[in-house]
Structure 1
Amino acid sequence: MASYELVPFQRFDQVMIVAAIEQQSTLINVGFWVKDPAKRIIWPTQKSDQIREDFLWEKTCFEIFIGIRHQDGYREVNLSPTESWQAYHFEEYRYPDTSPPQVAYDIELVELKRTAYGINTIIDIQPFLSEHQVSMSDIYLGLSAVLNTDEGNVYYAIQHSGLTADFHNKRDWLHQL
């Protein structure tokens, strides 16, 4: 299991996020542990069922980016504390440029649950691997979070190498499976 302390794009010491990744076959288990002692995060209301929903990044949301080594295409998986989720398809950096982005059906949600510490998910990327005829060793991940706080949105990722917070920047996707 690998873990990463996500860092905010701009200084925001009030909240700490640690993300952990565990892989079993084509299943990827990701947990986001959030420490918010001052209760700065505005958490969306939890729903009763797990549904696909667009625009989750407009509120507190956790994200997994899935890239393939030496290929332009990638997937973005949005995970809400409401237990709603969505997966998007990009052929290359932020393309196609539609809002909402094009939905991807080659990422399967196995489990998504809000926990006392944050959020945990298990996704199956077997259909994605088969579609692109690649193996797990060709996959790398980026982990990020949009936190809606009492001071506005704060953007967390494993690293931020650009001049703006840009989760689509593959240079910041550091976890290799």
Structure 2
Amino acid sequence: MELTPHPRSVAGPIRRISVEATRLGADRLALRYRVEGDIVRLFVPEPAPAARTDELWKRTCFEAFVRVGDSADYYEFNLAPSSRWAAYQFRGYRGEMADADVDTPEIASAADGERFELTALIDVSRLARLDPEADWTLAVSTVIEDVDGQVSHWALAHPSPFPDFHHAQSFVLDLPAPEHP
């Protein structure tokens, strides 16, 4: 799936961002983001020990919002190339927010002059409002910062005049429940 920059964003050095999202069994979410462009101009935070960290979305960050079907409640995952991460649960649109009970996601990234890739594997087995037997709907996005400090916002859908990855109409990627033999 292709992400597009928000109309108020300047793509800067980035030509293209794509994402693959896959359910691995009933309780794991796999994400692969591919960024193409003048990657040396992409701000990538230095590698760091994996740790839960707030406000990752202010710099280069890869995000996924997950809900069951069209539920108003959802989870947000923020994944940084440094291996820092965050996970939150929301009751309704930007409603009551709390840390989500997940183990540290497995995050890996690699880059060359033209491509940057981030992969993540998230165990969601302890997330009570994410029924493993139900279909999930995702909103997938990225915040990209270049070395000059210019920030662009990319997503599968931009239903709001301002970047708003939480917007209900941003949830456009369906991941069906796993089939059982």
Query: How is 1:148-163 mapped onto 2 (pairs within 5 angstroms)?
Result: 148-149=145-146, 150=148, 152-163=150-161
Residue identity in the other structure for 1:147: I
State how far apart, in whole Å, the 1-side matches of 2:123 and 2:22 are: 12
Q: Which residue of 2 aligns with 1:81?
A: 81
Where in structure 1 are there 5+ consecutive unaligned residues?
A: none
Asked if residue 102 in structure 1 is aligned to residue 90 in structure 2, the reply is no
State how far apart, in whole Å, the 1-side matches of 2:174 and 2:104 are: 20
Between Structure 1 and Structure 2, how many residues are aligned?
Answer: 166
Q: Which residue of 2 aligns with 1:93?
A: 93
Q: What displacement does 1:136 show?
A: 4.3
Q: SS where residue 115 of structure 1 aligns?
A: strand
TM-score by length of 2: 0.83
Residue identity in the other structure for 2:69: R
Asked if residue 28 in structure 1 is aligned to residue 23 in structure 2, the reply is no
Query: How is 1:1-177 mapped onto 2 (pairs within 5 angstroms)?
Result: 4-10=1-7, 11-12=10-11, 14-15=13-14, 16-25=16-25, 26-37=27-38, 39-47=40-48, 49-96=49-96, 101-105=97-101, 107-116=102-111, 117-128=116-127, 131-132=128-129, 134-149=131-146, 150=148, 152-177=150-175
Q: What displacement does 1:151 show?
A: 5.6
Q: SS where residue 57 of structure 1 aligns?
A: helix
* 8 Å contact from structure 1 (residues 109, 122) kept in 2: no
Q: 1:93-134 CA deviation, whole Å, 9 max, x = no partner?
A: 1112xxxx52111x3344111223321000122222xx2373
Q: What displacement does 1:148 show?
A: 1.1
Residues 1:151 and 1:112: Cα distance change in structure 2 (over 3 Å): closer
State how far apart, in whole Å, the 2-side matches of 1:144 and 1:42 are: 17
* 8 Å contact from structure 2 (residues 51, 104) kept in 1: no
Q: What displacement does 1:58 show?
A: 1.3
Q: What displacement does 1:69 show?
A: 1.9
Q: What displacement does 1:175 show?
A: 1.2
Residue identity in the other structure for 2:33: F
Alignment RMSD (CA, Å): 1.9
Where in structure 2 are there 5+ consecutive unaligned residues?
A: 176-181
Segments of 4+ moved more than 4 angstroms: none
Q: What displacement does 1:53 show?
A: 0.8
Q: SS where residue 42 of structure 1 aligns?
A: coil
Residues 1:155 and 1:118: Cα distance change in structure 2 (over 3 Å): same
State how far apart, in whole Å, the 1-side matches of 2:121 and 2:130 are: 22
Q: SS where residue 39 of structure 1 aligns?
A: helix
Q: SS where residue 126 of structure 2 aligns?
A: helix
Residues 1:72 and 1:38: Cα distance change in structure 2 (over 3 Å): closer
